[in-house]
Every structure is written in C-alpha cells, then in structure tokens.
C-alpha cells in the first residue's frame, strides 16, 4: 500500500505532516472453487483460514483482514457465516484465530501498527499446512480428525441452541430417527426441568427451543423437538 506525506495547517497556524494511505479497492473473484460442505466443515477453522490466505496470495493480491474474511466466507460459507444470518460473514471468527496463528509462527502481519504490517502472509510452516488443506479440499487426502467447535457462542440464544445440538439425545435421533425413543426423565433433563416441574413449564421450554430451531433454520433440530413434543402430549399430565 502506497503512503504519501501530506502537510496540513492547523487553525493556530502551526504546520504538521500526516501520512495519507491510498485506499485499495478489491473485487472478489467470481470463479472461486465451490468446495463440498461435508469436507470443509471437518477441517479446523485455523487451517481453512491459512488456506484462505494462500488462495489470496496465489492470486497475486494483498491479503488484508477484510479481504481474508471475504475469501473465506465465499469459499466456506457454512463455517464463516453467522449462525442466525448465514448469508453474512462473521468477522469475529477470525480475530482470535489470527492471533493464535501469529503466536504459532504460521503467519506474519495482519495486526497493523508499527511492528506488524496490515497485510498478512504465510511463513514456511503456514504454507505447508495450507498445501495439506488444498490436497484435502481437492480430494487427494482424507480428513483424519473430527472437528470440534472452535468459537464459543456469544448470545444467550446461541448458547441454548448449542446446548441442544451437543446433547447425546439429539445425536441419537440423527443416527436413527425412525427408531428414536425418549423417556419422560430424559425429556425433562433435556429441557432443563426436574421431576417437580409442571408440564406447563416443560411445554414453554420446548416451544422456546422450537422457535430457536426455526430462527436458525435448523430443520433437523425442529423435527427432533417436534417428535419430543409428540411424546410429551401423548404422556399427558397436569398442566398446573
């Protein structure tokens, strides 16, 4: 990025110099590869970001934070989009990861300021990982590990949604929806209720989670909760 010294004059008459940086304009390539969600969703976020940096540099562009967010979201939308608004990139998914990558010596730059340029580049170690990710995305190697959630949910709704998604009962349903069964005790525990909790409160909690599933367009979860609701209605009980 080119910089130019500009002399300005204050109201007091004192002259001072400022540094003016030319603004860079970017156009996101429309021909970026479309990778399979079932493959890239199993790769660690930090490795996908390394590949995003690699992709930008391979295109002979300067990799800034904004450009990286756009590149990664375009290639891996399910990973780098907001949970509730998946058509928008979530830039907070990059901040902590980039700090970690700098600490590990996999990237340089990106922080800005006197000792770190605003543009980001890969070290030799970072390039090796990016190459491995490239091979995995191209189907030349197989993803060997199960990806864990790398960023904590920020809102109360996201935490509640993650609580249900990570519950063994939901996993049990996904593995065999036709044979799924749930006991009253399991249902109460799932909905954060005790044996003394009135059915009315259980229904309220269930409705809350169903609304969350609708809001986040998670239809598998909605099917699961609707099935739980059927089980609850069949059991009947005191609404008091």
Q: List pLDDT tens digits, range 76-111.
A: 999 999 887 888 999 989 988 999 999 999 999 876
Parallel, antiparallel, or unpaired for β 3-9 and 107-109? unpaired
* Mean of pLDDT over the chain: 81
As its CATH architecture, domain 33-137 has: Orthogonal Bundle (1.10)
> Computed from CA positions of residues 218, 151, 43, 28, in that sequence, does the dihedral angle turn out positive or negative?
positive
Helical ranges in 113-218 per DSSP H: 124-137, 156-165, 168-175, 184-190, 199-215
pLDDT class of 240 with cuts at 50, 70, 90 = very low
User: Which pLDDT tens digit goes with each residue over 181-228?
Assistant: 898 899 999 998 998 999 889 899 999 999 888 888 888 999 999 998
Domain with CATH 1.10.10.10 in the chain: 33-137
Q: Give the per-residue pLDDT at 134.
A: 94
CA distance readout (Å), 117 to 26, 28, 65, 86, 148: 18, 22, 11, 31, 31
State both tokens at 97: 């990861």
Q: Give the per-residue pLDDT at 147.
A: 54
User: Which pLDDT tens digit goes with each residue over 124-154?
Assistant: 999 999 999 999 998 887 765 555 545 555 6
pLDDT class of 238 with cuts at 50, 70, 90 = very low
User: Which pLDDT tens digit goes with each residue over 29-46?
Assistant: 556 677 888 899 889 999
Q: Give the per-residue pLDDT at 84.
A: 78
pLDDT class of 63 with cuts at 50, 70, 90 = very high
- What percent of the chain is predicted at pLDDT more than 70? 76
Q: Give the per-residue pLDDT at 23.
A: 47
């Amino acid at each position: 990025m080119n910089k130019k010294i500009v002399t300005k004059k204050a109201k007091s008459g004192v002259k001072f110099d400022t540094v003016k940086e030319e603004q860079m304009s970017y156009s996101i390539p429309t021909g970026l590869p479309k990778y399979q969600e079932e493959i890239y969703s199993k790769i660690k976020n930090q490795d996908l970001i390394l590949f995003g940096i690699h992709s930008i540099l391979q295109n002979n562009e300067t990799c800034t934070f904004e450009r990286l967010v756009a590149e990664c979201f375009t290639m891996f939308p399910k990973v780098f989009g907001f949970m509730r608004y998946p058509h928008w990139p979530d830039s907070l998914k990059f901040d902590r990861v980039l700090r970690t990558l700098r600490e590990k010596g996999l990237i340089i730059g990106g922080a800005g300021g006197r000792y770190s340029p605003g543009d980001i580049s890969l070290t030799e170690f970072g390039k090796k990982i990016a190459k491995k990710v490239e091979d995995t995305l191209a189907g030349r190697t197989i993803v060997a590990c199960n990806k864990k959630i790398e960023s904590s949910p920020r809102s109360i709704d996201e935490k509640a949604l993650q609580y249900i998604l990570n519950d063994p009962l939901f996993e049990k349903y996904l593995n065999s929806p036709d044979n799924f069964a749930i006991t009253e005790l399991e249902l109460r525990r799932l909905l954060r209720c005790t044996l003394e909790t009135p059915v009315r409160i259980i229904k309220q909690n269930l409705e809350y989670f169903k609304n969350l599933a609708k809001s986040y367009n998670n239809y598998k979860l909605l099917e699961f909760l609707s099935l739980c609701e059927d089980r609850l209605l069949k059991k009947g009980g005191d609404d008091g």
